[in-house]
Amino acid sequence: MENLPPVILASTSPRRSELLSSMEIEFEIVPSHAEEVMEACDFIPDLCEANAKKKAMPIAELHPECLVIAADTIVYLEDELFGKPTHIDEASHMLAKLEGRTHQVSTGVSLIYHNDEINKTFSVITNVTFLPLSKEQIDEYLAGIDPLDKAGGYAIQQDKDKIIKRVSGSVSNVIGLPVERLKEELNHLFIEKIEEQWGAWRLVLNLSAEFMSKLSLAIRPIGD
């Protein structure tokens, strides 16, 4: 994408890097060390947005000349949150709770660019329905992936046909960055804004040209 300031991705997630690269955006990675909050609340997407903003703010303070992008993804079923499992048994336990049911994945995104006073957060929700799974099927799936760095203990981009029946909404959102919505927001914040500014300047230039033309007629010497 063109017309963007220098971009920083405040994440070490290789999946978010891949997704942002797929948008043809050049960026630098500056890890955020802000701690994520994982506790139930009335509306989980609000928690995702708060975590994303918490990650972006300290990086944006250090780099006001850059657009900082941060994100936070939470998997949840009703009021239970599923973070990143710390061991394989915990991942297996998570999938056993999710099997045969529809859960939600919410990713909150924070966009901060101090030089242009931009401070925008948004979130996207995707519904994911799991197939009915036996313990043997869960164990077979987990043997083929690394679940320990993935919310919910699964990766939608790896062997999804083994565990997932249906996805309603953005797949990239489940992976960790809703690229469709992010494109819309960046277009609105930067490309459309530049076009609006150019349109305003073009109007000013047209009015100036019209004024100068009338002025030249008004001061034309007598006898011309």
Backbone angles phi, psi at 13, to 5 degrees: -65, 120
> How does pLDDT run across 26-37, given as a tens digit for each residue?
999 999 988 888
What residues are annotated to the active site?
Answer: 72
Mean pLDDT score of the chain: 88
The helix/strand/coil state of 155 is coil
Q: How would residue 194 be classed by pLDDT, with cut points 50, 70 and 90? A: very low
Is-contact 203 46, C-beta < 8 A? no
Q: How would residue 143 be classed by pLDDT, with cut points 50, 70 and 90? A: very high
Interatomic CA distance for residues 45 and 23, integer angstroms: 24
Number of domains within the chain = 1
Greater model confidence, 1 or 162: 162
- Strand ranges (E), 16-163: 27-29, 67-77, 80-82, 102-113, 118-130
DSSP 8-state secondary structure symbol assigned to residue 157: T
CATH code of residue 177: 3.90.950.10
CA-closest candidate to residue 69, choices 183, 193, 198, 188: 183
Q: How would residue 3 be classed by pLDDT, with cut points 50, 70 and 90? A: confident
Greater model confidence, 36 or 132: 132
Greater model confidence, 220 or 123: 123
In-domain check, residue 80: yes
Greater model confidence, 192 or 111: 111
In-domain check, residue 2: no
What percent of the chain stands above pLDDT 70? 84
Which domain does 117 fall in, by range?
Answer: 7-218
CA-closest candidate to residue 25, choices 51, 3, 47, 50: 3
In-domain check, residue 149: yes
| pLDDT, position 198 | 46
In-domain check, residue 158: yes
In-domain check, residue 1: no
Which two tokens mark 112?
Answer: 């901060």
Q: How would residue 190 be classed by pLDDT, with cut points 50, 70 and 90? A: confident
Q: Is the pLDDT of residue 204 over 60?
A: no
CA-closest candidate to residue 98, choices 174, 172, 164, 171: 164
Classify residue 85 by burial, with Cβ atoms within 10 Å: 0-12, 13-18, 19+.
buried
Query: Which neighbouring-strand residues pair with 38?
Result: none
Mean pLDDT of the 140-169 span = 93
Backbone angles phi, psi at 37, to 5 degrees: -95, 130
| pLDDT, position 212 | 58
Of 44-48, 142-146, 202-206, the poorest mean pLDDT is in 202-206
Interatomic CA distance for residues 5 and 47, integer angstroms: 28
